[in-house]
Amino acid sequence: MASESDLRNHHPGVRSAYEHVVRRNPDEPEFQQAVLEVLDSLSPALERHPEYADQRVLERLCEPERQIIFRVPWRDDDGNVHINRGFRVEFNSALGPYKGGLRFHPSVNLGVIKFLGFEQIFKNALTGMNIGGAKGGSDFDPKGRSPGEIERFCQSFMTELHRHLGEHTDVPAGDIGVGTREIGYMFGQYRRLANRWEAGVLTGKGLEWGGSRVRTEATGYGTVLFTQRMLERNGKDLDGRRVVVSGAGNVALYSIQRAQQLGATVVACSDSSGYVVDDKGLDLELLKQVKEVERKRIDVYAERRGQSAQFVEGGNVWDVPCDVALPSATQNELDERSARTLVENGVIAVAEGANMPTTPEAVAVLREAGVLFGPGKAANAGGVATSVLEMRQNARRTSWSFDHAESELAETMAGIHDRCEEAAERYGAPGNYVLGANVAGFERVGDAMLAQGLI
């Protein structure tokens, strides 16, 4: 849990901003943690640029421009009425229209959405593209629901949300629980209500109706591309490395795929039931069949794979020795104990495929041990970057090939890495990607806010 004492030696403007956040958001630990993680890096920027403190840019940045909470009523297949809660937090639009995903999961609440939206500001800024930060979703659980139930929920959700969206205002995408199917239902309802074909209002669409190639793979691919560049800058490489990935969803699967393409051996992944270790290297096609097609637990993979694979029920995937770790499941999954285990087992690099999956204590352990660490706002920005490429294609009424879209993604991830690297060096902390990502993203947004006046 975040604490004001963590900032006692920081710039007064940083302490004031954090006290302001804690006071106004007392029951939102995820949001407080996300804010603390960013503010912890910003004292050097405020000391070098006092105008940020004078104009209270931090306080303004930590207060969303708009918070939308609404009721989502829907009927199940038996005719029973259900009431869920919908959210959209439009955090900052200094650089462009709000951009960020929608998450459907029982854990969703206002604090979680605010944490995700706050992270999105800096992630989007690091891409170098002109997009602001937002996040949204609902506490609706799509697991076990029929296609008809999901369709009715999505239509009800969009019936309220549509009035706040637009390609020049706010452009949502998918996140946990929201894939191409859900985006399709929401886009259809938006089109019905708005009476126009506004392809750029949602990203993550199907290829046949405005989607972009590589969007499905983008977050996982981007995480691995960032990791590879981080290693290369330090005289290392992914080729021949032993890799562990947490999760078995979209980000994890395509992180596994890209890592294997670059010569790594991915030996373990996980889901909520436990983890599987496969010393021969994971069979990606079998894993996709189990998780994406059949939607079964990961123990089924071990059963079908044979003697090389072992399923560990309820275990900790970070107990598996590896050179590179890619936490790609959910927030705060990699704690201090796990970080110490990774270090003891010889890990050389960790990059976040999920949003804030590593606790502050774990980050400190990794940094102190000299492990290369790529924070999520940089390492997993490939998804939102490709969403903007989708918007670009929609605006031109065109579609790119897979190779062209992948090339654009690779160039964007290289740019994100280099912005982080340059900022860290400029502030006297070479190799500190956490500071580099936070400062580089903050400066870009902060300068835009100053230029546009007190709004």
Q: What are the tens digits of pLDDT across the range 81-93?
A: 999 999 999 999 9
**Amino acid sitting at position 5:** S
Q: Based on the number of CB atoms within 10 Å of its own CB, is 75 exposed (0-12), middle (13-18) or buried (19 or more)?
A: middle
Looking up tokens 């959210």 gives 87
Q: What is the pLDDT of residue 4?
A: 55
CA–CA gap between residue 286 and residue 292 (Å, rounded): 10
What letter does residue 293 receive in the DSSP assignment? I
Q: What is the pLDDT of residue 7?
A: 78
409 neighbors 367 (Cβ within 8 angstroms): no
Give helix 402-426 / helix 218-232 axis angle, nearest 10°.
50
75 neighbors 145 (Cβ within 8 angstroms): no
Low-confidence ranges of the chain (pLDDT < 70): 1-6
| Residue 433 CB neighbours (<10 A) | 25
- Return the structure tokens found at 188: 């259809």
Active site residues: 135
CA–CA gap between residue 248 and residue 365 (Å, rounded): 26
All domains of the chain, ordered by start, with CATH? 4-62 (no CATH), 66-197 (3.40.50.10860), 218-379 (3.40.50.720)
For 16-55, letters b (16+ CB in 10 Å) and e give: ebbebbbeebeebebbbbbbbbbbbbbbbbbeeeeebbee
Q: Based on the number of CB atoms within 10 Å of its own CB, is 1 exposed (0-12), middle (13-18) or buried (19 or more)?
A: exposed
For the CA atoms of 182, 185, 186, 190, what is the dihedral angle to 10 degrees?
170
Q: Counting every residue, how long is the chain?
A: 455
Give the distance from CA 293 to its chain's centroid.
24
What letter does residue 334 receive in the DSSP assignment? B
- Return the structure tokens found at 187: 């886009």
| Residue 404 CB neighbours (<10 A) | 13
Query: What order do you get walking across the sheet with 274-278 strand by strand?
Result: 309-313, 274-278, 265-271, 242-245, 324-326, 349-351, 372-374
What is the dihedral sign for C-alpha 247, 253, 258, 261?
positive
Q: Which of 234, 254, 21 is nearest to 118 (CA)?
A: 21
CA–CA gap between residue 106 and residue 104 (Å, rounded): 7
CA–CA gap between residue 88 and residue 193 (Å, rounded): 19
Q: What is the pLDDT of residue 5?
A: 55
Containing 87, the helix (H) or strand (E) segment is: strand 81-92
Helix (H, G, I), strand (E, B) or coil at 225: helix
Q: Which of 348, 397, 356 is nearest to 240 (CA)?
A: 348
Q: What is the pLDDT of residue 331?
A: 87
Q: How far is CA 342 from CA 109, 129, 233, in A?
A: 32, 35, 22
Q: Which of 379, 407, 408 is nearest to 392 (CA)?
A: 408
166 neighbors 199 (Cβ within 8 angstroms): no
Q: How far is CA 124 from CA 120, 389, 447, in A?
A: 6, 13, 15
